[in-house]
Structure 1
Amino acid sequence: MKAIKKDTLYSLFSLIFVFSAGLFLGYSNDKNMEPSALAETLVESPVEQTDSLQPLTYKEWLKEDNIKYRDLLIENLDQLTCQEIIDQHQEVQGIPDNNYSISYENLITKEVYNYRENDLTVVASTSKMLTAIIYIDLIEERKIKSDSPITYSSAYYQAGAGAITADAGNQSHYPLDEVIEEMIIHSDNTATMMLKNHYRNNFGNYEKKVQELLRLREEDISQYDLSWNRLNTRYLKEGLKMVSDSSDYEELIQLMLEAEQPFFLSTYVDENMAVKYGQLGDGQHDIGIYYIEEKPIYLLSVLTDQLTREQADEFMGGINLNLATQARYKDYLNAFK
């Protein structure tokens, strides 16, 4: 083996020393570096995160595909009060001031609006909701059973829709739950007369019971007026509030949701609207509770007089469409709070 020259050996040792020193210094710097700083030298910094998502404006939200009847919605709906919505519909359709009364209450925003709410009128089948409430209370109090027999008599017969009216004379009794169902879903008049008379025959004064139910005195509304089925929007709205406030009436709410009624308040809002309409002569009425994901949002009772069927549909239906759309947008905004 050839001998290594002295100057070559010296150069080799110098190179090893410099290399080792570099390794030592690199290790020291890495050891003293914060973990996060070290990580940043290994990977690229992430893209800066933006603030939490902001809600869409009403106009942006309105462009979504699932918004129905956009051409019937009032501009800047998110900024309007119930009164402004109603006033616009009245003006556009030319509805006379004396031809309607309204009571509205939003259970979320606490907005309340009333117009001629104390005017008594024959409310037709809208009062059937009160009859159902009375019997549901009796069931809860165990004074009657849901399948208790309710007597039919030819004296109780009244023309109209419903299976009991259609079946009149074929049976002497019907189970209570079936009678209530026909009264609410199909607005069966015979079923209603059977229930009112069953109450009178077994429990007492029906009109006085309605007073007690609504916490009213004779000076507030007389039994005579009630015997002629005269009420107002305020009393009907209180009945709606009673139903929306208690889980005892869940079955009644379900029946009202299933009611065969593609008109009046349900003209454009055919989902999530628990309703009971009434119609007699020139009087066309409707009451309802609007729900979002099974939560009651607002109560609305509307009584009209001397309107055509088309006017009643457009007036009540248009108002309710705008109120429901406004409520949906406000519910959307609440998700960002």
Structure 2
Amino acid sequence: MTTFIDFLEKDQHFREKLHNTDMEDIKQGKLAKELDFVSHHVRTKLDELKRQEVSRLRTLIKAKQDLEGGNGMLFDHQALLKQFEYLNHMNPHTFEVDDLDRLIKSATKDLENFDKERHEEFKKYEMLKEHDRQEHLKTLDEDERRKEEEHFEEMKKKHADHPKVNHPGSQNQLKEVWEEGDGLDPEDFDPKTFFNLHDTNGDGFFDDQELEALFTKELEKIYDPTNEEDDMVEMEEERLRMREHVMNEVDSNKDRLVSLDEFLVATKKKEFLEPDSWETLEQNQAYTDEEMREFEEHLVQQEQDLNQKAVDLQKQREELERQQEQLNSQKIELQQAVEHMERLKSQNVEPPPEVHGEFRSRI
């Protein structure tokens, strides 16, 4: 799988930083700070795969609608099979609603797994960031360490000092998008019109990307790529949390798409009109103390394994050098024996028997 760093290298700013950073800086975690300045439009390979899966999911939903609506003649079985090459064993003439239901369930499961992987990658990122911070503190004297800790707490406090974040998917949150993003009068807010405005491809559904786009205004309250205390990787995790929350609240049939009907039903619920406050990522640590301990132990084990490999390689190198020295010594002795025989031959002197024997033994 393409790694997070592999994909970030496609970003020009980050690629230049990566190529101009030496290994010692990377080990000390200095490169990690540059992640804060990578554009939030840069997505991991996982996101590319997710978008492909969403596209296939749309195709499946449309096919199911055609069949259920009596428009079976419009259903292009061959086109569907091209998107799902692993289904070629199925007879395209017997594709039924039940077949599509199974495929939809499989596709939504794949998307859930993508999200789980994203969460796990983020958790590792956060633990590694804390690990690097603690390792850096160990290199400082008491006074420097105190100043560093004070600066860290100051940055945390500064990051937490932001305007109130609206509950994702609530009336207040959507009205803010309606007013500031769409430039419309909040008094004229209409859920159906809002849905149609932000259903960017006009297919009658909100997918993952269309929902996530609705949270940009909220995220801008918390994160600014020019601020030292704001981490853009954390911003994308917050975006993911917001989208998952809205999906859980609104997507009643769990097909990973929010239809207009599902959206309108949700706008009549108490949670939409009178939502609870939203707890941001800074209020929800991504990992437990136990997970951090296990992560630290894993890093220690990795370091020990690498050190052992280094020791083994050094021993192999020394053994090869010893063998090379033996070969060089034997080569010199053999050359000397040959030269000695050539001298005797030029003088027409028969070499002593022990020279013959020694020469043959070396050959």
TM range (shorter): under 0.3
Q: Which has the larger radius of gyration?
A: 1
For CA contacts below 8 A with separation 6 or more, give which structure has more relative contact order. 1
Superposition TM-score, scaled by structure 1 size:
0.20
- Structure with more strand by fraction: 1
